[in-house]
Structure 1
């Protein structure tokens, strides 16, 4: 009777260990999940930074996101001249290095993907019957 009980316990332990081992092979580790986050793209937007994946994206990520949040890029809208003025301000006051030959491509990317828009508040609602409270 005791031998049968020990056999059942050993069987259950081996079963649990084999299930745990197979699950650990299927699930990525935290390090793997973190590495995968760099390659995930949805609708041409990098999920990690929120930047639009277009020509010049890599240069912007390498030169801009090194020092500040990508939100400073995605939330700002400017013309090419506006972006150039921002770069010059960062070079004069924030220690941004000379971008050299990368500057025109960075400006092209910013001017194309983060240009001013005419979006604003919705138009006023018309012909609405309001309830009297």
Structure 2
């Protein structure tokens, strides 16, 4: 019985010691960071919160924001076409354009996916844009029947010599 109490006490002490080490290490990191910030005020996390500080914004040129090169919307990677801006405005507010591009579905599956997003993910009513969006997706990103990886094409094969 005494041995069990002694083992339990050792186990409790080890647990307490681990917690103590973690707390001390955290406090040490905090103190070092605080001292560093005090000695380097230009790096302060509070910089910019003073009422007289100047907020610097980087202007986004209108041309770059919706720039299209070689039929591709540069910012999102969407194929240029009717309905592309509706996709940009409604879909990329919540998730990456890549998520949209990789999900190739037919019209019925897109409708079901949009309904699911409205019921479970707080997607707003798309109104007239819903048909425009679905038509764009079905036209530019139709379902593809392919295996895990597409077949290699345009390859210059060579023979290995012994």
- TM-score normalised by the shorter chain: which range applies? 0.5 to 0.7
User: What displacement does 1:40 show?
Assistant: 2.3
Detail structure 1 runs of 4+ shifted over 4 Å in the superposition: 128-132
Mean Cα deviation higher: 59-68 or 112-121: 112-121
Give the structure 2 partner of residue 31 of structure 1. 59
Mean Cα deviation higher: 109-118 or 87-96: 109-118
- Partners of 2:73 and 2:129 in 1: how far apart? 20
TM, length-normalised to structure 1? 0.64
User: What displacement does 1:32 show?
Assistant: 5.0
User: What displacement does 1:76 show?
Assistant: 1.1
- Partners of 1:62 and 1:32 in 2: how far apart? 17
- Partners of 1:42 and 1:78 in 2: how far apart? 25
Deviations along 1:26-62, one digit per CA (max 9) or x if unpaired, are xxxx5356x4421321111101000111000111111
Structure 1 residues 32 and 84, CA gap change in structure 2 (3 angstroms) = closer
Aligned-residue CA RMSD in angstroms? 2.7
> Relative contact order: is structure 1 or structure 2 higher (C-alpha 8 Å, sep ≥ 6)?
1
User: What displacement does 1:87 show?
Assistant: 0.4
- Partners of 1:52 and 1:103 in 2: how far apart? 18
TM, length-normalised to structure 2? 0.54
User: What displacement does 1:65 show?
Assistant: 0.8
Identify which of 121, 130, 142 aligns with 1:103: 130
Give the structure 1 partner of residue 117 of structure 2. 90
Give the structure 2 partner of residue 25 of structure 1. none
- Partners of 2:135 and 2:112 in 1: how far apart? 14
Equivalenced residues, count:
102
Give the structure 2 partner of residue 24 of structure 1. none
Deviations along 1:4-29, one digit per CA (max 9) or x if unpaired, are xxxxxxxxxxxxxxxxxxxxxxxxxx
Matches within 5 A, 1:1-133: 31-32=59-60, 35-119=62-146, 120-122=149-151
Q: SS at 2:104's partner residue?
A: coil
Q: Which residues of structure 1 form unaligned runs of 5+?
A: 1-29
